């Protein structure tokens, strides 16, 4: 198995966890979680250094700024064995363990509480800059969404990050072009989004957000005295045919029947990853 094959297998298992626990918890935003699975997999299972070592006192940090994709993060943390599956079983249950939007005091691996959009990104900027000043090392990875990119705070931060030269930071935009109640590029003058970031002084990469080799090489490319953003073209609800690119899967709940249907599709993929790009 090549590295990419392994990553594909992990992503598939994370998707299954998402479907299983989305059904159990009756949570929304399933489509939002499914669209960023490859991004999280590439980060946690390849790019990020998660443990302190002698040579590296500070591990890398991941901040989920689009906090409504919490289930993708929880599932990834479980798969990575940072969080126990038992924790995930209490997700959104009465007197349970994990809330729908991130609370950093609830579980291991949740670095910043988020949920309201346009917050995590700016916290990450300050944290990354602070670590750089204190020469602490460690890199920062932040995931933001399309809807989130309409927040003024994102552009406030973007303007300062490049001025300060925060080069220990990589932002990934989960560009699925479907938000709560419309498509980003129809609601506002969203594109050309890459040129906007470029104009703000960022180093910009555009990748297919479901293609591991593209994601990996973009993540690995060095920052050159500037912050970096990877605009990852993704499909909302990716991996489950009846959820793909459907706005309703920002809100719909996975019923037991739909769960079976979705898991069946996902198990087929494992035998035919060629279809599964």
Partner 1 sequence: MRTRIINKLIQRAQKDPRVFLVTGDAGYGVLDEYQRRFPHRFLNLGVAEQNMMSFSAGLALAGYKVFLYNIIPFLLYRAYEQLRDDICYQRLAVTLIGIGSGFTYAPQGMTHYSLEDISLALTIPNLVILSPSDPYEAESCMEFAFRSNKPVYIRIAKSAEPLIHTRPVADVRLSLVVKKGRDVAVLFHGSIASEVMDACQDLEYEPTLISMPMLRPVNFLALKRQLRGIHTIITVEEHFVQGGLGSILEEWIIRKNLPFQLKKLGVKNEFVHRINNTAGMRQAYGICQRHIREAIIKAFLKKDV
Residues that bind partner 1 (CB under 8 A): 104-105, 112-116, 118-119, 121-131, 133-134, 136, 152-153, 156-157, 159-160
For residue 254, the minimal CB distance to partner 1 (Å) is 28
Local structure of 91: helix, strand or coil: strand
261-to-11, 19, 48, 132, 256 alpha-carbon distances in Å = 18, 10, 33, 48, 9
Q: In what order do the strands lie in the sheet with 228-233?
A: 61-64, 140-145, 169-175, 228-233, 203-208
For residue 134, the minimal CB distance to partner 1 (Å) is 6
For residue 96, the minimal CB distance to partner 1 (Å) is 19
- CB of 126 or CB of 182, closer to partner 1: 126
Torsion of CA 128, 69, 50, 39, to 10 degrees: -90
Q: 189: Cβ–Cβ under 8 A, 6 or more apart, which residues?
A: none
For residue 81, the minimal CB distance to partner 1 (Å) is 24
- CB of 169 or CB of 178, closer to partner 1: 169
Judged by phi (left if over 0) then psi (alpha if -120 to 50, else beta), residue 81 lies in left
- CB of 85 or CB of 163, closer to partner 1: 163
- CB of 49 or CB of 113, closer to partner 1: 113
For residue 105, the minimal CB distance to partner 1 (Å) is 8
H-state helical runs in 165-277:
184-187, 193-199, 212-220, 256-271
- CB of 117 or CB of 240, closer to partner 1: 117
- CB of 86 or CB of 134, closer to partner 1: 134
Joined together, the tokens standing for residue 69 give 């994709």
For residue 144, the minimal CB distance to partner 1 (Å) is 13
- Rounded Cα distance between 255 and 179, Å, is 22
DSSP 139-183: -EEEEEETGGGGSHHHHHHHHHHHHHT-TTEEEEEEE-S-BTTB-
């Amino acid at each position: 198995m090549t590295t990419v094959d392994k990553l594909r297998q992990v992503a598939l298992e994370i998707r299954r966890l998402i479907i299983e626990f989305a059904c159990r918890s009756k949570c929304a935003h399933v489509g939002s979680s499914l669209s960023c699975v490859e991004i999280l997999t590439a980060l946690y299972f390849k790019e990020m250094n998660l443990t302190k070592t002698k040579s590296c006192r500070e591990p890398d940090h991941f901040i989920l700024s689009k906090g409504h994709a919490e289930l993708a993060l929880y599932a990834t943390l479980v798969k990575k064995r940072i969080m126990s599956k038992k924790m995930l079983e209490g997700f959104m249950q009465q007197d349970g363990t994990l809330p729908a939007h991130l609370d950093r005091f609830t579980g291991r691996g949740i670095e910043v509480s988020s949920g309201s959009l346009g917050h995590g990104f700016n916290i990450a900027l300050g944290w990354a800059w602070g670590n750089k000043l204190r020469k602490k090392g460690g890199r920062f990875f932040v995931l933001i969404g399309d809807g989130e990119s309409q927040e003024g705070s994102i552009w406030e931060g973007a303007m300062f990050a490049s001025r300060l030269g925060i080069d220990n930071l990589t932002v990934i935009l989960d560009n699925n072009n479907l938000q709560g109640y419309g498509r980003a590029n129809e609601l506002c003058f969203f594109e050309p989004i890459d040129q906007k970031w470029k104009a703000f002084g960022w180093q910009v990469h555009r990748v297919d957000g479901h293609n591991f080799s593209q994601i990996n090489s973009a993540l690995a490319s060095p920052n050159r005295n500037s912050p970096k953003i990877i605009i990852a073209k993704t499909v909302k609800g990716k991996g489950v045919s009846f959820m793909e690119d459907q706005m309703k899967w920002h809100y719909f709940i996975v019923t037991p029947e739909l769960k079976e249907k979705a898991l069946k599709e996902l198990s087929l993929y494992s035998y035919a990853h060629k279809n599964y790009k």
